[in-house]
C-alpha cells in the first residue's frame, strides 16, 4: 500500500484486511499506523520509502527520487535512518521488512537504478550494523518504460531483470550483507501495452504554419478527459488509421480532443493518410496505464467504455458512462 498521505480510515482498512506491505512515507504515518495496529491487536509489516536523490531521465512531475518532492524519507538528511529507529521502537505493532525506493517513470536504462541500489543498499548495511538486523526485503520500485512511439526502445524484461540482479549482487558483496528478497513494481510495463484507445474522427481542419507549411488538425470524440498525459506530462503517443486501409499520401497531423483547451492534444505529431475524414476510426496504442486511472468527466463528458478482446470476441467490462451517471450524485 503506497501513498504520501494515507488517511486513518485507509490505514485501519489495510491493517484489518491484512495488506502485506505498507510503505510508510512520513513520521506522522509511522505513529498513526502503530496506533492502529495496537488498537486492532495486529502487527503491520512495513517498508520505508527512501528518497535516494537520483534524478531519473523522465518528466519532472514523474521523477520521484530527487530531494525536493513529496515522497519518502530523505537519505541525505538522515530522515530515512531516523524512520527505521522509530519503526523499531514501535515493535511488536510494526514489523520492519526493508527499504523501498522509486526513482521515476518511463525509464529506459538501468543507470539510475544502479545509483539508487548502491545508495539504498549502503543504508541497508548501516542499519544492519547499527541495529544488529538484516532486513529480509528490498523493493527497488519500478518506472520501466514502454513503447508509446517507435522512438521508444524499452529493455526486454529478461535483460532488465538480469542487469538489476547483477547490480544488487555486486552492491551486497561490497557492503558485506546477504542478498535480501528483491521486489520490483513494473506498473505500466505490464498494463500499458495491453490496451489501445479507439476514437472516431469528428472534424478535419488544415492550418497554415509559419514558412508556408501546413498541419492537419484531426479532432476526435475524446481527448484530455480520457487521456490527460499529453497535456500533463508532455507525453508522446502515436496513432494509426483503424477500420480501413489507405494508400493516400501521409501528411503531418495533430490529433486533438473536443474540450475547450488549446492544450487538449492526444497525439502531438503523426503522419496520417491525407484522405482521413469524419467518421474514420483512429487507434492510439499504449493507453493501458495511467489513462483510465487519470480520466475525468471534464466538461461533463461521460467516459468511454472498456472493452476486452480475446480470440476475436469482444465484451464490455466497464460500461460507457451516460448523462444519467453524471447527474446521479446531484442532491
Bridge partners, 318 (sequence order):
306
What are the DSSP calls for 269-313, one per residue?
Answer: EEEEETT--TT-EEEEE--TTTTTTT---GGGPPPPPEEEEETTE
266 vs 262: CA distance, rounded Å: 11
For the sheet containing 281-285, what is the strand order?
A: 240-242, 281-285, 196-208, 214-220, 250-256, 265-273
Q: Which of 172, 239, 260, 291 is catalytic?
A: 260
Our answer to whether residue 239 is catalytic in this structure is no
What are the b/e assignments for 47-56, b being 16+ CB within 10 Å?
A: bbbbbbbbeb
Place of cell 550483507: 177
- CA dihedral (291, 230, 144, 281) in degrees, to 10, reads 60
Catalogue the active-site residues: 260
Amino acid at each position: 500500500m503506497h501513498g504520501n498521505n494515507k488517511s486513518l480510515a485507509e490505514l485501519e482498512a489495510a491493517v484489518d484486511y491484512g495488506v502485506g506491505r505498507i510503505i510508510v512515507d512520513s513520521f506522522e504515518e509511522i505513529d498513526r499506523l502503530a496506533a492502529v495496529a495496537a488498537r486492532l491487536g495486529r502487527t503491520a509489516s512495513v517498508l520505508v520509502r527512501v528518497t535516494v536523490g537520483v534524478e531519473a531521465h523522465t518528466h519532472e512531475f514523474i521523477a520521484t527520487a530527487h530531494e525536493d518532492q513529496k515522497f519518502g524519507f530523505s537519505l541525505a538528511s538522515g530522515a530515512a535512518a531516523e524512520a527505521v529507529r522509530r519503526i523499531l521502537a514501535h515493535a511488536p505493532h510494526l514489523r520492519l521488512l526493508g527499504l523501498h525506493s522509486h526513482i521515476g517513470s518511463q525509464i529506459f536504462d538501468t543507470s539510475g537504478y544502479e545509483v539508487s541500489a548502491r545508495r539504498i543498499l549502503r543504508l541497508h548495511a548501516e542499519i544492519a550494523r547499527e541495529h544488529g538486523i538484516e532486513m529480509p526485503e528490498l523493493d527497488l520500485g519500478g518506472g520501466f518504460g514502454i513503447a508509446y512511439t517507435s522512438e521508444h526502445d524499452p529493455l526486454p524484461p529478461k535483460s532488465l531483470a538480469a542487469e538489476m540482479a547483477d547490480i544488487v549482487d555486486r552492491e551486497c558483496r561490497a557492503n558485506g550483507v546477504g542478498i535480501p528478497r528483491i521486489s520490483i513494481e513494473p506498473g505500466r510495463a505490464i498494463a500499458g501495452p495491453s490496451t489501445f484507445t479507439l476514437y472516431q474522427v469528428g472534424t478535419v481542419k488544415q492550418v497554415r504554419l509559419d514558412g508556408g507549411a501546413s498541419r492537419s488538425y484531426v479532432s476526435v470524440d475524446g481527448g484530455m478527459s480520457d487521456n490527460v498525459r499529453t497535456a500533463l506530462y508532455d507525453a508522446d503517443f502515436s496513432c494509426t488509421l483503424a477500420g480501413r486501409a489507405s494508400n493516400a499520401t501521409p501528411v503531418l497531423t495533430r490529433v486533438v480532443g473536443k474540450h475547450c483547451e488549446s492544450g487538449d492534444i492526444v497525439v502531438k505529431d503523426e503522419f496520417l493518410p491525407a484522405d482521413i475524414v469524419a467518421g474514420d476510426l483512429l487507434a492510439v496504442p499504449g493507453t493501458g496505464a495511467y489513462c483510465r486511472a487519470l480520466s475525468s468527466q471534464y466538461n461533463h463528458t461521460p467516459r468511454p467504455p472498456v472493452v476486452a478482446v480475446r480470440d476475436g470476441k469482444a465484451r464490455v467490462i466497464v460500461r460507457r458512462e451516460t448523462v444519467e451517471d453524471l447527474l446521479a450524485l446531484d442532491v
